[in-house]
Amino acid sequence: MPKLKDRLTVRGAETYFLSPDPTDREAKALADVENEGAAPVSRALDAVSGILADLALGQAPNDSARLAEIVQQRLVRDARIANRGVRQAPFVVLAGTRMPSALVEIGFISHPIEGRLLGKQRHQNAIARALAAAVHEYADEVLARRLVASPAHGVLPEFVRVAHRPQRTGKKPVAPVAAAAAAR
């Protein structure tokens, strides 16, 4: 149980990505509390199964770390939330994903000022805009680079070529991911 002093002083956002090795005791304790009641994750994986699982996940763990960094930066800068950092922990909710993923703890309702702020529509909108901007930035930085770097059969799909063509209209370029969705 958190001490009253901690409830009055601890505030801010922290973003987690999946790792079997928690950043610190606090990250482990939070994962333990959050994982309580979740469906148990099989711990019977042998070394070979673990290696195969790592290969199947490919770049997702590294991409998740980068996603978490971008999300945290955007929350701090755009939504002006106190920075509690990017951390790693074995959260069940992140386990088994085959895509980049992050868990965002946006604030503390137990903090007297932050709790009230979290209830305000304006702050909620700032958080939503920061999260959307983070996903967009991640897509531009990581996913678009991957699409361009490894085209199928050496030919870039038209939507990627169009999305990367410089525009002289003064408008922001179309994100490749958005262009891909529109092309479907």
At 102-158, the pLDDT tens digits run 999 999 998 999 999 999 999 999 999 999 999 999 999 887 777 776 655 455 444
According to CATH, what is the number of the domain 4-150?
3.40.630.40
At 15-69, the pLDDT tens digits run 999 988 888 888 888 888 888 866 554 543 444 445 445 544 556 668 899 999 9
At 146-166, the pLDDT tens digits run 777 665 545 544 444 444 444
CA–CA separation, 156 and 139 (whole Å): 17
Q: Does residue 18 contact residue 96 with C-beta atoms inside 8 Å? A: no
3-state secondary structure of 22: coil
Cα–Cα–Cα angle for 113, 114, 118, rounded to 5 degrees: 125
Cα–Cα–Cα angle for 134, 21, 35, rounded to 5 degrees: 75
Helices (H), 105-170: 112-118, 121-138, 144-149, 158-164
Residue ranges per structural domain of the chain = 4-150
Q: Which of 148, 158, 165, 155 is nearest to 180 (CA)?
A: 158
Question: Residue 98: its pLDDT value, please?
Answer: 76
Q: Does residue 74 contact residue 112 with C-beta atoms inside 8 Å? A: no
